[in-house]
């Protein structure tokens, strides 16, 4: 015996206590969608609140959409072009819990075994730049003409030269 299926048809839509379908085929639900298995949606799906296993994924409290505060351990893999990043708190950038750049309580720390540049100031290279220090230690005697030295070294040499030249 052959079974003949006859789908429900309407030219003007239809309604039920939990959903309504308009004449264009748009489905409006009064409650939740429960999906068991895989569902493919082609077209546009509009929702006002998206939950996954009871966790709200997005917040739109202040007329902008942002990740929910329930998402605390994100491993974001692809973002696209980031034009602005605002962080409220400390920042740690690194790999496998090794921080290369950190801003911890307002203090910036850069850890690197390689040389590099930051705003035209050479780090770990011999390029001269202007600097202001609160404290500096110079313990070695100069071995090249371009080396910086301490005042006591200069004073001792000037005294020795003045005695040698009979001044």
CB 128 within 8 A of CB 138: no
Provide the domain limits for residue 64: 8-68
Burial label, 59 (beta-carbon count in 10 A; 0-12, 13-18, 19+): middle
Q: What is the mean pLDDT of residues 97-125?
A: 74
CB 152 within 8 A of CB 142: no
pLDDT recorded at residue 117:
65
pTM confidence score: 0.35
Q: Indicate if the pLDDT at residue 102 is higher than 70.
A: yes
Q: Indicate if the pLDDT at residue 155 is higher than 70.
A: yes
Q: Indicate if the pLDDT at residue 167 is higher than 70.
A: no
Number of domains in the chain: 1
For residue 44, is it within any domain?
Answer: yes
How confident is residue 105, by pLDDT bands cut at 50, 70 and 90? confident
pLDDT recorded at residue 101:
86
For residue 75, is it within any domain?
Answer: no
pLDDT recorded at residue 42:
86
Q: What angle do CA 17, 19, 20 make, to 5 degrees?
A: 110
């Amino acid at each position: 015996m052959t079974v003949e299926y006859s789908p429900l048809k309407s030219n003007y839509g239809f309604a039920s206590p939990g959903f309504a379908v308009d004449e264009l085929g748009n489905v409006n639900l009064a409650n939740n969608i429960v999906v068991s298995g895989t569902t493919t949606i082609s077209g546009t799906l509009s929702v006002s609140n998206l939950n996954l296993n009871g966790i709200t994924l997005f917040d739109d409290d202040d007329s902008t959409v942002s990740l929910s505060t329930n998402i605390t351990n994100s491993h974001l893999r692809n973002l696209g072009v980031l034009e602005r990043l605002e962080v409220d708190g400390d920042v740690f950038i690194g790999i496998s819990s090794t921080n290369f750049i950190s801003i911890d309580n307002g203090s910036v720390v850069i850890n690197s075994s390689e040389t590099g540049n930051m705003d035209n100031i050479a780090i770990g290279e011999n390029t001269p730049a202007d600097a202001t220090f609160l404290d500096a230690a110079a313990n070695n005697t100069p071995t090249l003409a371009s080396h910086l030295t301490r005042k006591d070294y200069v004073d001792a040499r000037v005294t020795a030269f003045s005695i040698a030249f009979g001044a």
